[in-house]
Amino acid sequence: MKFGLFFEISVPRPLTRANEQLSVHNTLEQARLADELGFDRVWVVEHHFLEEYSHSSAPDLVLSAIAMQTSRIRIGHGAVVCVPQINHPVRIAERAAMLDILSKGRLELGTARSSTWTEVGGFLGVSPEITKLSWDEYVHAIPKMWEDAPFSWDGVTFSTPERNVIPKPYQDPHPPMWVAVTTPGTEMDAAERGLGCLGVSANSFKAQEATVKRYREAIGHCKPVGKRINSEVAAMNFLYCHEDGKRAVAVGLNMVRQFNYLNTHQLWNREVFPTTAYKTLSNLAPGKTSKAPDDPNAERPVAEGVTIGDPQDVIRAIKVWESTGVDSINFLINCVETIDQQDVLESLRLFAREVMPAFRKGARMEAA
């Protein structure tokens, strides 16, 4: 089981420059510590215009800073928006290759098409009807741009005359590629193209198990878009770990509530632009609660499967996710600075000290 951090870079009100700067620099500090503790990846999202929820409009710059301040952790572009009016595919390929060089081969490239009208509608000329088509063209074209031969493309959403797209990635043949999965069925789009399944919404254990099964069956017969098949399935979760389970629940659930509150206030494409291109979204909603271990008659306030609690609570939750077949879990560890930075860092240290050993052995844990 691999563990990563997922950064939205959410900013609390009042939306001052000082608060923005605090959230960005707290993110960098958390990434540095994750590198030291033995976490596998850090992911930085791309969003635009989403006040409070995410001020991460330039993830490649944040990832460059992380790459320069870390030595081993892999850096995930999670995920770049594949819409021509927002990111031209040539620019994506160029920036990703340079980031791979700067990090000495630690880049993972996630792809997405954006789900909110606030973002898509903020760039003139974007039609939600064609974002899936543009994403499909992008994931087929970008790996070809990284090859040594000159590249050209004559497609529906973009065209490029023959050019040599430079630089080339550090990783040979190219970095692992992923697709962000929020809507049911996107895991099949990923599998058919040989892309990793980057879960960015919450599922029940049963739903996750079914998703993994469908994905595993399909990727065995994939037609890969590049020269590297990524068959990994990643899930997303919240994380707050404290030796005092009651304190962990009180602090951690406040973070979850803040995130869910902001998440439900996004104006989703499907609500503004009726189209089959955007179906129901599996947003980060809490699941069913389970019985508390110390009182069989009381319901535990933490939603089932959420990794909030003392180390043993977190271990139990991860083991169930592991049983569904996921390969990695990426954690949201704060939202609008709800948790004090020092408490976030202590949560990460406790997780590395008490939880990671239950899933890892050998030199990695010695390093952590």
What per-residue confidence (pLDDT) applies to 277? 65
What per-residue confidence (pLDDT) applies to 193? 98
* Average pLDDT in the chain: 91
Confidence of residue 274 (pLDDT cuts 50, 70, 90): low
pLDDT digits (tens, 9 = 90+) for 2-52: 999 999 999 999 999 999 999 999 999 999 999 999 999 999 999 999 999
Confidence of residue 287 (pLDDT cuts 50, 70, 90): very low
What is the pTM assigned to this prediction? Answer: 0.91
- Does residue 136 register a pLDDT over 50? yes
pLDDT digits (tens, 9 = 90+) for 53-85: 999 999 999 999 999 999 999 999 999 999 999
Compute, in degrees rounded to 10, the torsion defined by CA atoms 58, 63, 68, 69.
110
Percent with pLDDT over 70 in the chain: 90
What per-residue confidence (pLDDT) applies to 368? 45
Cis peptide before 224 (omega within 30 of 0): no
Which region among 47-51, 117-121, 325-329 has the lowest average model confidence (pLDDT)?
117-121
What per-residue confidence (pLDDT) applies to 96? 98
Q: Which domains does the chain have, with CATH numbers?
A: 2-367 (3.20.20.30)
What per-residue confidence (pLDDT) applies to 264? 86
What per-residue confidence (pLDDT) applies to 115? 83
